[in-house]
Structure 1
Amino acid sequence: MTETVRDRQAMLAGLSPSLQPGQLVFCAADEDWARHQPLGMFREAEGVSLILDRDQAEAEGFSVADPMRLITLNVYSALDGVGLTAAVASALAEAGIACNMVAALRHDHVLVPAEQAEAALRILQDLQTSSSAP
């Protein structure tokens, strides 16, 4: 088991971002959301939000807009680590790239507009490099 990282500088130095294949979309679902086998789900006051594979969402009849790509930050970031989300979001914002962060137990994940995914990946790689420098 890899040790979780809490220190901001160490989290950034260990980002190791990787662009995942395929496109994802956010969809609104009814309470029978589990049958869709989403990558992610969140229950909001207005209903259930799902993160689905774009092809799957289209096949299941969801309205599909704003395709996203997923960048996984392969550092084992601690849930109580401070500053990773802010640094990633700020670096992407400076380049005019929207991002939606999803924190999971072992890693953080960044959803970015599909057409800006390669640029976002380069920005995060540069952030890692600059954070690793003495």
Structure 2
Amino acid sequence: MPEIATTAAEMISGMTPVLQPGTFVFITTQDPARVAALFAHAVSTVREAEGMSMLIPVESAQETGLNVDHPMRCITLNVFSSLQGVGLTAAVSSALGENGIPCNMVAGFHHDHVFLPADMCDRAMRILTALQNTAAENMKATGD
């Protein structure tokens, strides 16, 4: 396994954002049969008091007649960040928010994933790449 980034500077300077293929939508349902039918397609699930929230490919939502009004793309941050690291999510969401781009962060064991409106993904990639480059330059300048 690669070295785990633990500091904000390490995580941000090494995040290497990559736009993933596919388009996704968030849905929610209280229908156990629908959950079972979509579970194999889900990128992520969260059980909430209101029902099961699922992040699924837009095609799966269309096939089952679900709302696809808010298509999302996924940018994976390819740094191996510590589960106890502090600062990556804040830096990414702040940089995007300052540029009017909403984002939904989904953390996995190995990587963080940024889901954002499909029509904003190219601009988001430029912003995140610039954020990474600035952090890497700062680390180099300070000798970290």
TM-score normalized with structure 2 length: 0.90
> For residue 85 of structure 1, what is the aligned residue in structure 2?
89
In the TM superposition, what is the alpha-carbon distance from 1:115 to its structure 2 partner?
A: 0.4
- What is the CA–CA distance in structure 1 between the aligned matches of 2:64 and 2:80, rounded to whole Å? 34
- What is the CA–CA distance in structure 2 between the aligned matches of 1:31 and 1:101, rounded to whole Å? 26
Unaligned 5+ segments in structure 2 are none
AA in 2 matched with 1:128: Q
Which whole-Å deviations, capped at 9, do the CAs of 1:6-55 have from their partners, x for residues lacking one? Answer: 11000000010000111100011223414312011000011000000001
> For residue 19 of structure 1, what is the aligned residue in structure 2?
19
Q: Secondary structure at the match of 1:48?
A: strand
- What is the CA–CA distance in structure 2 between the aligned matches of 1:74 and 1:63, rounded to whole Å? 30
- What is the CA–CA distance in structure 2 between the aligned matches of 1:63 and 1:108, rounded to whole Å? 25
**Identity between Structure 1 and Structure 2 (%):** 47
Which structure 1 residue ranges, 4+ long, deviate > 4 Å from structure 2? none
TM-score normalized with structure 1 length: 0.96
Q: Secondary structure at the match of 1:42?
A: strand
1:110 to 93, 114, 121: 114
Which whole-Å deviations, capped at 9, do the CAs of 1:76-134 have from their partners, x for residues lacking one? Answer: 01111001000000000110000000011000000011000000011000000000002
**Paired residues, number:** 134
| Root-mean-square deviation (Å) | 0.9
**Are 1:61 and 2:65 counterparts?**
yes
**Which structure has the larger Rg?**
2
> For residue 35 of structure 1, what is the aligned residue in structure 2?
37
AA in 2 matched with 1:35: A
- What is the CA–CA distance in structure 1 between the aligned matches of 2:47 and 2:23, rounded to whole Å? 22
- What is the CA–CA distance in structure 1 between the aligned matches of 2:36 and 2:112, rounded to whole Å? 22
> For residue 9 of structure 1, what is the aligned residue in structure 2?
9
- What is the CA–CA distance in structure 1 between the aligned matches of 2:32 and 2:121, rounded to whole Å? 31
